[in-house]
């Protein structure tokens, strides 16, 4: 019985990645909802007092609160760390000969390591530069 479970794990080990993506997506949506709810509560307080809310709060609701994270160097550094950790994990699996696909782990480790280095270098070269897209009225008329 124990050997049967072990063989089944090696056939479906890759399901860990979509399962974790699914769980982290739920967590991210929950945290984003809570942040927006807090902003709405503060906006209700401003409305009850008859004051105008700060423009940053309205921009947070409009952009979803993740504009600078998604487009800035922090996003590249975060990807670099995640991909680097995955590269180390796959390198460890290849080194200890886990499962029947040891060579596949080496290939995955090399690819993820190269991507990690690329995102790290990109974050270092663009440090301090945020990507600000032009507003609708500032875009050229041909686009």
Q: Give residue 5's pLDDT band: very low, low, confident or very high (50, 70, 90).
A: low
Q: What is the pLDDT of residue 113?
A: 94
d(CA 104, CA 62): 44
Q: What is the pLDDT of residue 66?
A: 56
Chain segment 36-51, per-residue pLDDT in tens = 888 888 889 888 999 8
Neighbours of 109 (CB within 10 A): 20
Has residue 131 got a pLDDT over 60? no
Q: What element of type H or E holds 91?
A: helix 73-95
Q: What is the pLDDT of residue 67?
A: 52
Chain segment 82-129, per-residue pLDDT in tens = 999 999 998 988 888 776 667 788 889 999 999 999 988 887 887 655
d(CA 70, CA 131): 10
Q: What is the pLDDT of residue 134?
A: 45
Q: What is the pLDDT of residue 128?
A: 53
Percent of the chain with pLDDT over 70: 71
CB 83 within 8 A of CB 116: yes
Q: 3-class DSSP state for residue 109?
A: helix
Rounded to two decimals, the pTM is: 0.45
113 — phi, psi (to 5°)? -65, -40
d(CA 76, CA 119): 5
**Taking the domains of the chain in order of start, what are their residue ranges?**
1-64, 72-128
């Amino acid at each position: 019985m124990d050997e049967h479970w072990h063989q089944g794990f090696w056939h479906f080990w890759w399901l860990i990645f979509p399962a974790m993506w699914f769980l982290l997506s739920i967590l991210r949506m929950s945290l984003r909802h809570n942040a927006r709810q807090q902003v709405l509560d503060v906006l209700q307080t401003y409305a009850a007092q008859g004051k105008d809310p700060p423009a940053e709060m309205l921009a947070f609701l409009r952009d979803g609160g993740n504009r600078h994270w998604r487009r800035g160097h922090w996003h590249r550094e975060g990807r670099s760390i995640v991909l680097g950790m995955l590269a180390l994990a796959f390198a460890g699996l290849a080194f200890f000969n886990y499962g029947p696909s040891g060579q596949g782990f080496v290939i995955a480790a090399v690819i993820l390591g190269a991507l990690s280095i690329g995102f790290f270098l990109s974050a270092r070269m663009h440090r301090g530069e945020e990507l600000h897209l032009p507003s609708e009225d500032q875009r050229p008329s041909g686009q």
